[in-house]
Amino acid sequence: MGEARQYLLVMKLQVMEKISSLPGMLRPREKLAAQGASFLSDMELLALLVGSGTQKSGVERITAEILDLLDRSSGIPPLENLTAIPGVGAAKGTLILAALEFSRRRLCPGRRKIGYPRDILPLVDHYSDRKQEYFLCVSLNGAHEVIAVRVVSIGLVNRALVHPREVFADPLSDRAAAVVIAHNHPSGNLQPSPEDRVVTKKIKAAADILGLGFLDHIIFGKDGYYSFLEHGEL
């Protein structure tokens, strides 16, 4: 396990340990019943699906490992990848895959079309509460319909190191016509940093060379978003 991945796993475990020590009404099941599913974090929702841990691997670690796998996967992972996680047997693995596939069919029966920067937000806003920067790339076809949303890199605390080859490797395999990139600001400050502007220029220059449309770079958080396109910076 790489240093960055190990760091992320520790951070996720710390979040789960805090959850497990909360009083009753603030625990995931009670919180969902009182406030609704949309108020739960990814970790809390996944903990409800996992249910319980084992003697060797508690629910906190299992949940953190599964979320790490999902973050690194470009789609729904195969069952064998889930069951390779200690504490995830066939029953838990198939339950999680069934929940993911059912959600995909019910909520995304067709390809979502992107007309405005805000149309990207439902695809990425579940990363808003993460403690590190998640740099994402959305592949689009010629009709600006979403092909895939992928995590390109995960930064440590507040920085994500991104290279154009990492951004465009999968969109080229997708035969995408255009891309939108996005990343969260854990601080809540949605203004671009100098590094954000440098990355944007590098990605745009690479997209022009490859003949791909570079539609926007969106910085998002819990309280809104910043669009380079809307601010006339593309």
Count other C-beta atoms under 10 Å from residue 89's C-beta: 11
- Which residue, of 77, 107, 137, is where some domain finishes? 107
Residues 103, 122 share a domain: no
Residues 221, 122 share a domain: yes
Look up residue 120 and give its DSSP letter. Answer: G
Where in the sequence is the domain holding 206, given as residue range(s)? 117-227
118-140 core/surface letters (b: 16 or more CB in 10 A; e: else): eebeebbeebbebebbbbbbbbb
Query: What H or E segment, with its residue span, contains residue 180?
Result: strand 178-184
- Which residue, of 107, 141, 174, is where some domain finishes? 107
Residues 205, 123 share a domain: yes
Domains in the chain, number: 2
Return the structure tokens found at 42: 């990814």
CB neighbour list of residue 125: distance below 8 Å, 6 or more residues apart: 220
Contact 162, 153 (CB under 8 A): yes
- Amino acid identity, position 94: T
Look up residue 158 and give its DSSP letter. Answer: S
Tens of pLDDT along the chain (234 residues) come to 455 555 555 555 444 444 555 444 457 778 888 888 877 788 888 888 888 777 777 788 888 888 888 877 767 888 999 899 888 889 988 998 998 888 777 666 556 788 888 888 988 888 888 888 889 999 999 889 888 888 888 875 445 567 888 889 989 988 999 999 999 998 888 999 888 998 899 999 999 999 999 999 999 998 899 999 999 988
Residues 23, 69 share a domain: yes
Residues 40, 13 share a domain: yes
